[in-house]
Chains A and B, each alone.
Chain A
Amino acid sequence: MAVETSPIDAPAGSTIARLERDARLRRIELAVPGLDGRQAAEHLSEHLQAVPGVAVVNVNPTARLARVDYDPDRASVSALARAARSAGYSIGSASLDLGIQGMHCASCVSTIEHALAQTPGVLAATVNLATERAHVEYVPAFIDASALRQAITSAGYDVREGVARGETAVDQEQRDREREYRSLLTKFWFAAAISVPVIVFSYPQFFPVLREWLTMGSDARRLVWGALGVMTLPVMFWSGSQFFSGMWAGLRHRQANMNTLIAIGTSAAWLYSSVAVVAPQVFPRMELAEEFYDVAAVVIALVVLGLALEVKAKGRTSEAIKKLVGLQAKTARVLRDGRELDIAVEEVLVGDTVVVRPGEKVPVDGVLTDGSSSVDESMITGESIPVEKHAGDEVIGATINQTGSFRFEATKVGKDTALAQIIRLVQDAQGSKAPIQRVVDQVSQYFVPTVMILAVIAAVVWFDFGPQPAPVYALIVFVTTLIIACPCALGLATPTSLTVGIGKGAEQGILIRSGDALQSAQRLQTIVLDKTGTITKGNPELTDVVAETGFDEDELLAIAAAVERNSEHPLAGAIVEGARLRQLSQLEASDFEAIPGHGAKATVDGRSVLLGNTRLMADRGITLGRLQGEAQRMAEDGKTPMFMALDEVAAGIVAAADTVKDDSAEAIAALKQMGLEVVMLTGDNRRTAEAIGRMVGVDRVLAEVLPQDKAHEVQKLQLEGRKVGMVGDGINDAPALAQADVGFAIGTGTDVAIEAADVTLISGNLRAVVTAIQVSKATMRNVYENLIWAFGYNSLGIPIAMGLLYPFTGLLLSPLIAAAAMATSSISVVTNANRLRRWQPRPYGGMP
């Protein structure tokens, strides 16, 4: 399988090589992307002509194509490519990495290289013995990956089936995690198995048989204890090996972490016990010669189990990425040489015509050329309603074709597809830090050494002032304090929630670019909406046709359309389209004349037509009568009316307007319900703007704003002391998006990586803003829950472990309880973050 197909010199899709079988000669068309000008074409032509076996060369500098008729027995494609290269040009080619199995010697390398180089269409092949991979450069239309594999197989080697690059990373991560989990679990079971006898023999007083046998101070007791000490060693140094190696690695960098705490705690318990066994005489009294091997064994067993469960749970936090990667199509059906070929999706090139049948996945991004269908885009945009697609519409890779068959031209492949960009953005965002994390970082920098200092202080205080046997209490307090502290819970709190939250956003078609954006989005107070394209659809539509008595509406519209077909005015398209939708008969206009600032005049069906504003009508002395009032009313509704006169008599009005999106009002209401002030920003005149503002229910309208002043308006709102979010398209509104505290870019098809935006709404739907803020609120609430839990746990647990409650209640924790608490606390944090995975956007009206 292909691992990576990449254009080398140019969009490889521009290589359109076609073979036409002649009696003897073969014809090939090679794309030469760098070709510029006639002189260059001649230069290239000379070089190609010089290749032995080449009959006719025809280089077209405009199309940047070289057509060569050659004798396949004497010349080869690679010879042509070499000739082109020596002329200073390279022909569009693709490269591919193939894994090879069965290479055992250096001579294999040359065998395979030779086999590949002999294959027609291959330009170059290099084989690396160490990595067991072949890198092949080839002309895609001449040969495909399966033929390359064939060449290797026939040379006597096997091609390893590989996977796409993005998938490898995720798969590998999962594999690593799985291995880590299994290894930790094995370590746990070993530690647990040893812990059982260690506990039993450590507390003989609870077991009648043992109680009589292992009396205090007896030799039998000492011997058994000694055996326990030896048994505990493999638990510490195998099951708990990562604590010791982690401590050591940290100490070399003068850093301390959780491993340091566990390693010191368990070693202290083990050393004390071993002194008690080997040299009990150093203790002034016999009851001080206690053993705590059970502490060492059980603590390690519990913490290792905690780590294992944590690894498992952490794996689930990045499930969203796995889902996204899983969306990628595996194969594509492309049209090459007039044949439909099933090829791996990695081999699809820009410019390929891809065929999609009902129920199939769209393999890459492109533009529909032939056919129509409805496509389910919910996996990318989060919009559940399928989208109708016709010729000229963009299709997005990984979406599912539902009803019809269609063909499209691939425009983005490989790492450029919308899906690949989404995956990259989400991964980057999941790795970023929320501002709150910096505070946590400051704390965790001091956390572990502070705990160590507290443990030492607690031990000294207990030794000096505690009840007897003081050394035993001092040791217990020391060990318990070290063990109960859980820096992991602190460290995990923010990143795990962030990973889940940002993944959750991606599932809804919302790309949150960073932890910063996520944290800011929930604090927004004002949302600025750009009118055109955000609240409205962005392209005007015909709204009204009013006919004066004696005229027919459809007739008027048909005539208006005939006139406007000649016009370039933005509203003209709306009228032409409106007539088309009503399926009116097409009329022809003659003598068209545009009257700038007024309208237009023309002749249709022998009648003179005037189409334009009040001034045009007034200039011609046409009385408008009741139409004047109608027009006034339409303007107040945000529409643009145009008067029509036939043969110098007022005939009616056609009006067009940029129509409001179906769910704009609903989304704005939801934003207001969330306590946000909603502001509309537009370049329209105040009357029209206010009419639309009223219709959708915004709080404030900022009208007549020049495009270059949008950022300034956002800044003015910020100077009022408000946190401002700006919603707009990523191109015209880029400065305003960047100025805002959070910039939401309305998605434009497959272009998802909008630089200026903090959040990209792929669906282009205003409702997504509501969902984005909901996601941010839910995630940050989760982060705070985690932090409160982690800080609370540590700031309660550590003093209790130090014995602060002992003077008042006699409460002192056992190190075993501390270990259990510590293991549970970091799992709780990850589990709480995973709770977010079940989060769903709330329907409107259910806002808190």
Chain B
Amino acid sequence: MTTIQIAVTFAGLVLVVGIAWFFWGPRRGGLRAATTSSGYQEAMVLVKGGYTPDLIVVQHGKPVRLNFRREETAACSEMVVFGDFGKSARLPEGETVPLEFLPEKPGEYEFTCQMGMLRGKLVVE
């Protein structure tokens, strides 16, 4: 093996590890939904190439209202689906669409676009 081959191989390995860590590695942060006067735990979620925030922390037993706002035209994100709660909503561009449900059991619940390409996580404590 030439030096350059060794270098390329090494760079490739670093890249592989880097990709795996970047996409699958541990994540920090997350937004705790604030409880509003109406008794709902509310959070605003921006839909643009992904969900911002994509980790939302709520308490169980209290109703949750997530206000989704989609600011892109790509057809992929036109629906958001909470499979575990049987809830979904169509998100017309530039409109704020509220989605309400009651998380009864603590746990981690995913929400995704209809095709499962964009993902976010709801952590119920």
Give chain A's interface residues, CB within 8 Å of chain B: 169, 172-173, 176-177, 179-180, 183, 242, 245-246, 248-250, 252-259, 310-311, 314, 427-428, 431-433, 437-438, 440-441, 444-446, 448-449, 452-453, 456-457, 459-460, 463-464, 487-488, 491-492, 495, 514
Contact = CB atoms under 8 A, between A and B. Distances in A.
B16 A456 contact: yes
Nearest to B116: A441
Given A177-B75, A452-B19, A459-B12, A432 B81 contact: yes
Interface size class of B (residues with CB under 8 A): 35 or more
Contact of A495 (B27, B92, B114): B114
A491 B117 contact: yes
A255 B24 CA distance: 9
B118 A255 contact: yes
A431 B19 contact: no
Given A258-B117, A464-B9, A441 B75 contact: no
A351 to B, nearest CB: 31
A449 B19 contact: yes
B115 A488 contact: yes
B116 A254 contact: no
Nearest to A452: B19
B38 interface: no
Contact of B23 (A252, A444, A449): A449
Contacts of B92: 169, 172-173, 176
Contacts of A173: 78, 90, 92
Given A169-B92, A176-B93, A431-B89, A437 B83 contact: yes
Given A246-B74, A460-B12, 10 more contacts: A176-B93, A248-B49, A253-B52, A253-B54, A257-B76, A431-B114, A437-B83, A445-B119, A459-B12, A492-B115
B51 interface: yes
A311 to B, nearest CB: 5
A257 B117 contact: yes
Nearest to A245: B49
B75 A254 contact: no
Interface of B: 1, 5, 8-9, 12-13, 15-16, 19-20, 22-25, 27, 48-52, 54, 73-76, 78-79, 81, 83, 86, 88-90, 92-93, 110, 112, 114-119
B90 A427 contact: yes
A255 B119 contact: yes
Closest 3 pairs (CB-CB, A-B): A249-B49, A491-B115, A431-B88
Contacts of B117: 257-258, 444, 487, 491
B19 A176 contact: no
Nearest to A252: B50
A794 to B, nearest CB: 15
8 contacts: A252-B49, A257-B76, A311-B75, A431-B79, A449-B24, A452-B19, A460-B13, A487-B117
Contacts of A459: 12
A242 B76 CA distance: 12
Most chain A CB neighbours (cut-off 10 Å) among B13, B48, B54, B75: B75
Most chain A CB neighbours (cut-off 10 Å) among B22, B54, B78, B115: B115
Contacts of A438: 83
B93 to A, nearest CB: 6
Contacts of B88: 428, 431-432
A250 B51 CA distance: 9
A405 B79 CA distance: 44
A431 B22 contact: no
A783 to B, nearest CB: 14
Nearest to A310: B75
A449 B78 CA distance: 23
Nearest to B55: A253
B22 A254 contact: yes
A704 B93 CA distance: 57
Contact of A431 (B54, B81, B93, B115): B81
B116 A169 contact: no
A457 B79 contact: no
Contacts of A449: 19-20, 22-24
A464 B8 contact: yes
Contact of B5 (A257, A437, A463): A463
Contact of A180 (B73, B86, B110): B73
Contacts of B16: 453, 456-457
Contacts of A453: 16, 19-20
Given A453-B19, A459-B12, A433 B81 contact: yes
Nearest to B74: A242
Contacts of B27: 254
Contacts of A456: 12, 15-16, 19
Contacts of B9: 460, 463-464
Contacts of A440: 116
Contacts of A444: 115-117
A245 B19 CA distance: 19
Nearest to A474: B8
Contacts of B119: 255, 445
Contacts of A253: 49-52, 54
A821 to B, nearest CB: 19
Contacts of A256: 23
B15 to A, nearest CB: 5
Nearest to B80: A431
A257 B119 CA distance: 11
A515 B76 CA distance: 19
A440 B76 CA distance: 16
A310 B119 CA distance: 22
A299 to B, nearest CB: 18
A457 B50 CA distance: 28
A514 B82 CA distance: 13
Contacts of B90: 169, 173, 427, 431
B40 to A, nearest CB: 21
Contacts of A311: 75
A314 B12 contact: no
A477 B108 CA distance: 39
A432 B83 CA distance: 7
Contacts of A257: 76, 117-118
A492 B115 CA distance: 6
Contacts of B1: 464
B26 to A, nearest CB: 10
Nearest to A248: B49
B115 A495 contact: yes
B116 A491 contact: yes
A525 B37 CA distance: 50
A487 B118 CA distance: 12
A437 B116 contact: yes
Nearest to A315: B75
B22 to A, nearest CB: 6
Contacts of B15: 456
A300 B74 CA distance: 16
A84 to B, nearest CB: 29
Nearest to A307: B75
A749 B89 CA distance: 28
B37 to A, nearest CB: 23
B81 A255 contact: no
Contacts of A433: 81, 83
Most chain B CB neighbours (cut-off 10 Å) among A177, A249, A440: A249
A463 B8 contact: yes
A557 to B, nearest CB: 54
A452 B12 CA distance: 11
Contact of A464 (B5, B115, B116): B5
Nearest to A444: B116
Contacts of B74: 180, 242, 246
Contact of A432 (B12, B49, B52, B86): B86
A272 to B, nearest CB: 14
A428 B92 CA distance: 15
A495 B114 CA distance: 7
